[in-house]
């Protein structure tokens, strides 16, 4: 009997055009690229431009041009979330029809005032379930929430190790369509990853807390759960996460990527715990990316955030 071939690895990089490419997103791009390509897989590119009020005109094109200048090549067509509303509507209607989601009329202020509300989650005060059994009289629907479920979500992150989160006690039922109109990140990313066949998600550790909610949605929709790898964040001397403005690497920020792009890639490898050959510092971007694909060691990725190495 012929042995079944394992599925091809499909990774992705999904920047938001709310600002220029920065050191943190460069680290995520390089890590996701090397992880997918080292296994002979595909590396997809998605522009997460759902949050239209925060999207900066022209920034999506700048990010693409910056990636090209750094030597990155993606597989297939670029996916733009702003053009996928019909897909998200279909999934939302399914969740509502199955009773997995419900309309909510609560404001953030009302949730914060609720005496029974658990501790705050990363998206604000935890939701106490005020509309779970129907919107109270006198209120109108503002957002759509998903039932968080009663079973803890457990997963093994490739960098951070075992994770276990009880969503009912940490954040509660979460929003999948916002009161101001756009579909929430949690829903869009789950749908796009699943329909694109993504089975390896490599991204920054600031999104680690989003993973349990995304896995909850995967379970509800019958989607497979990818492997997750959350990379350490780039910080400033104080230990705080750097802002996009303070660590931009894009063409729009005035970077001369012809002159220093290869140095940025070299130092991003060092930040990820890799040990590139010293002579690669004088190589071009293509050679550094080739080395990363051939030699990248996931086990060497550090768990803790840190300073981006100084260029030499």
Strands 161-165 and 153-157: antiparallel
Q: Give the angle 130-133-136 at the CA atoms, nearest 5°.
A: 60
Q: According to DSSP H, which parts of the chain are helical? A: 23-37, 59-69, 85-97, 108-113, 185-195, 211-221, 257-271, 285-295
Residue 306 has pLDDT above 60, yes or no: yes
Residue 194 near residue 167, CB atoms below 8 Å: no
- CA–CA separation, 160 and 169 (whole Å): 22
> Given this model, what pLDDT does residue 117 score?
47
pLDDT digits (tens, 9 = 90+) for 94-105: 999 999 999 999
Residues comprising the chain, all counted = 312
- CA–CA separation, 42 and 60 (whole Å): 21
pLDDT digits (tens, 9 = 90+) for 157-200: 999 999 999 998 888 999 999 988 899 999 999 999 999 999 99
Chain centroid to CA 168:
22
Cβ neighbours of residue 19 under 8 Å, at least 6 residues apart? 56, 59, 244, 245, 248
Q: Which residue is catalytic, options 5, 177, 241, 244?
A: 244
The residue ranges of every structural domain in the chain are: 10-84+191-307, 102-189
> Given this model, what pLDDT does residue 241 score?
74
Q: Is 244 a catalytic residue?
A: yes
Tokens of 251: 């063409």
Say yes or no: do domains 10-84+191-307 and 102-189 share a fold.
Answer: yes
What is 102-189's CATH number?
3.40.50.620
Strands 42-47 and 10-13: parallel
Q: What CATH number does domain 10-84+191-307 carry, 3.40.50.300, 3.60.21.10, 3.40.50.620, 3.40.50.2300?
A: 3.40.50.620
Percent of the chain past pLDDT 90, that is, above it, reads: 72
Tokens of 76: 């297939």
pLDDT digits (tens, 9 = 90+) for 198-245: 999 999 999 999 999 999 999 999 999 999 999 999 987 777 776 666
CA atoms within 13 A on the CB side of 11: 24
Cβ neighbours of residue 179 under 8 Å, at least 6 residues apart? 107, 142, 143
Rounded to two decimals, the pTM is 0.92
pLDDT bracket for residue 129 (50, 70, 90): confident
pLDDT digits (tens, 9 = 90+) for 33-68: 999 999 999 999 999 999 888 999 999 999 999 999
pLDDT digits (tens, 9 = 90+) for 278-295: 999 999 999 999 999 999
């Amino acid at each position: 009997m012929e042995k079944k071939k394992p599925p091809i690895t499909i990774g992705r990089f999904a920047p938001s055009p709310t600002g220029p490419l920065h050191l943190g997103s460069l680290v995520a791009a390089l890590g996701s690229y090397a992880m997918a390509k080292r296994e002979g897989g595909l590396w997809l590119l998605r522009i997460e431009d759902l949050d239209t009020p925060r999207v900066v005109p022209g920034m999506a094109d700048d990010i693409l041009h910056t990636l090209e200048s750094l030597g990155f090549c993606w597989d297939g067509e670029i996916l733009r979330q702003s053009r996928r509303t019909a897909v998200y509507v279909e999934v939302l209607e399914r969740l509502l029809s199955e009773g997995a989601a419900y309309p909510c009329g609560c404001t953030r202020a009302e949730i914060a005032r609720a005496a029974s509300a658990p501790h705050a989650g990363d998206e604000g005060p935890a939701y106490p379930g005020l509309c779970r059994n129907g919107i109270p009289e006198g209120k109108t629907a503002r957002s759509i929430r998903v039932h968080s479920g009663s079973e803890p979500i457990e997963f093994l992150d490739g960098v951070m190790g075992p994770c276990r989160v009880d969503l009912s006690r940490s954040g509660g039922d979460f929003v999948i369509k916002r009161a101001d109109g756009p579909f929430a990140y949690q829903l869009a990313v789950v749908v796009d990853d699943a329909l694109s066949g993504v089975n390896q998600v490599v991204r920054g550790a600031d999104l680690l807390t989003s993973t349990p909610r995304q896995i909850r949605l995967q379970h509800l929709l019958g989607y497979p759960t990818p492997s997750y790898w959350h990379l350490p964040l780039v910080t400033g001397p104080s230990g705080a996460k750097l802002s996009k403005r303070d660590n931009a690497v894009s063409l729009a920020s005035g970077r001369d990527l012809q002159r220093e792009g290869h140095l940025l890639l070299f130092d991003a490898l060092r930040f990820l715990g890799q040990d590139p050959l010293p002579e690669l510092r004088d190589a071009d971007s293509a050679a550094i990316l080739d080395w990363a694909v051939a030699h990248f060691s996931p086990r060497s990725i550090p768990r803790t955030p840190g300073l981006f190495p100084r260029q030499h």
